[in-house]
Chain A
Amino acid sequence: MNELCELTIHEAHQLLQQREISSVELTESTLQRIAETEDRVHACLTITNDLALEQAALADACANEGQAEALTGIPVLVKDLICTTGIRTTCGSRMLETFVPPYDATVIEKLKAQKAVIIGKTNMDEFAMGSSTEHSAFFPTHNPWDLDRVPGGSSGGSAVAVATDQAIYALGSDTGGSIRQPAGFCSVVGLKPTYGRVSRFGLVAFASSLDQIGPLTKDVTDCALVMNCIAGHDARDSTSARYPVPDYTTQLVPDLKGLRIGIPQEYFVEGMQGEVRETLETAINKLQEIGAAIDWKASLPSTRYALAVYYILAPSEASANLARYDGVKYGFSAVKASSVIDATEKTRQLGFGTEVKRRIMLGTYALSAGYYDAYYVKAQKVRTLIRQEFDQAFQEFDALVTPTSPTVPFRLGEKLEDPLQMYLSDVCTLPINIAGVPAISVPAGFADGLPVGMQIIGKPFDEETILRIAFAYEQATDWHKKRPPLQ
């Protein structure tokens, strides 16, 4: 058998239930893999060895009594902006370098209720602002498929951790593509649920009307199993939806008969790499082979405005959310200051990195007197139009399919000095957050040896259909089984 850390959730669960392996062995295997690979990929910010092994021992006791649930005893890495009691939660920022949350996020409570084993926290762009994980205040994460390239972001650490078997699965967050784009860049599965499907309580806020927590996994079945655990209403997040949570595994069938899939032309954008386009076309043809009816002429005309809408709304919300970092209640605090205001200004100057400042500045400008209507309200109106176009498209189609990103992973440093080019990396994923609909990225092949992701977009609260399409595609291909040549 291969190393235990290479197992999926469903494989490990079966072995745990049959008592062929223990959670302690499984956890030790992932910790060992982290020790072997971390000096090259830098995916983690905190490793909780002792705590993890304690949790694993408790999970084993539970499994011995025949009470193992799907995630019991399975090691998980968590993006470092999801609050974990007693484990520092940095958001990839100097501002929160020493912050230790006094409470768990709802998703962490739910994982713990199943006796999941949390082995640490993953690297990310500071406050989830970025598409390459280079904006981490601590160090950049490297793509295991080519260590000179970025893993995507902002959940780059989580995507790399799953791709290198440092964990059996990981949690990330997605505000404009931060789960799907790194999942695509690292050849793993990443789902951004419908806005409101997963509680945001305990997720450090970036843009509150766009943020969602979601899973990064080695296959689609695992993605469904994690969703079964983390989805659902939460009184502590008043934007979480009251719809019942289905069993996401029941629709995982290997054919697509009767499903209508639209390919929105606007996503095959100018500047898209030819090989990415070809890889996607091959993947879409495969969907047709396994039963889907494909319409290559679907259209979402307002897609071209999504980038501007996003980079007005997300920074505006961020500028308000990040106003709380004043160096008083928690976090970094500038020592030398002459007054209250001077202290606040210096705390924020020294505590925030360049990209965070850039977004706070953009948002503050868009919300300021004289510009509010021209930028912020205008963007909100175009947001309405973008959502309406998705609603119309979903009257005709069960799902839409696009590339996850217009390019393969780019080189470290390549886009750091040109923020607009960096923003364009998310051009295919941003509209989905603007509309609040769900989307999944699945491994769809390789261009020049680098991963290409396929994005499948669904109707609001219809994660089941996109999981079904993703599953059927996965059964018909073996991209998800490929692992980076890191050893």
Chain B
Amino acid sequence: MKLSDEQVKHIAWLARLAMSQAEVERFKLQLSHILENFEILQEVDTTDVLPATQTTASQNVFREDNTAESYPQQEILANAPNREENCFKVRAILE
């Protein structure tokens, strides 16, 4: 599986990672090499095998919908790079 420049840039876009052309070149080679090694899985017969999403036997886990104390607003906001009053500050979404 050889990736193209366009494929690497598309994956980077999906992952919201800005990337220099040097990084694109580097990842193209490395990811292609790694993906080639994954092709070994195609030789495994998985007809009628169910995919495992986890290893515990548990199904859905429910709990009572009780109210409980949450964290103080100021503590949660303390790590925010940008804030205004009691809000996270973000860039304008609409032009």
Contacts and interface: CB of A to CB of B under 8 A. Distances in A.
Contact of B81 (A327, A357, A384, A387): A327
Contacts of A332: 81
Interface residues of B, number: 47
B80 A328 contact: yes
Interface in A369-425: 375, 377-385, 387, 419-420, 423
Nearest to A357: B17
Contacts of A423: 34
A368 B15 CA distance: 10
Nearest to A237: B61
Contacts of B33: 420
Contacts of A349: 17-19
B41 A346 contact: no
Interface string B15-37: 11111000100010011011101
Interface string A216-248: 000000000000000000010011010000000
Contact of B15 (A319, A385, A419): A319
B59 to A, nearest CB: 11
Interface stretch (A3-11, A20-28, A359-367): A359-367
A102 B51 contact: no
A63 B38 CA distance: 55
Interface in B43-65: 44, 46, 49-56, 58, 61, 63
Q: Which 10 A-B pairs have the closest CB atoms?
A: A436-B55, A380-B51, A333-B81, A330-B79, A345-B18, A381-B46, A349-B18, A238-B61, A102-B75, A383-B52
15 contacts: A195-B54, A196-B55, A329-B79, A330-B79, A330-B81, A346-B18, A348-B16, A381-B52, A382-B46, A383-B51, A384-B50, A419-B30, A420-B37, A435-B55, A436-B54
Given A361-B11, A365-B35, A382-B41, 9 more contacts: A102-B71, A305-B40, A311-B38, A328-B82, A343-B91, A358-B30, A362-B34, A365-B11, A382-B46
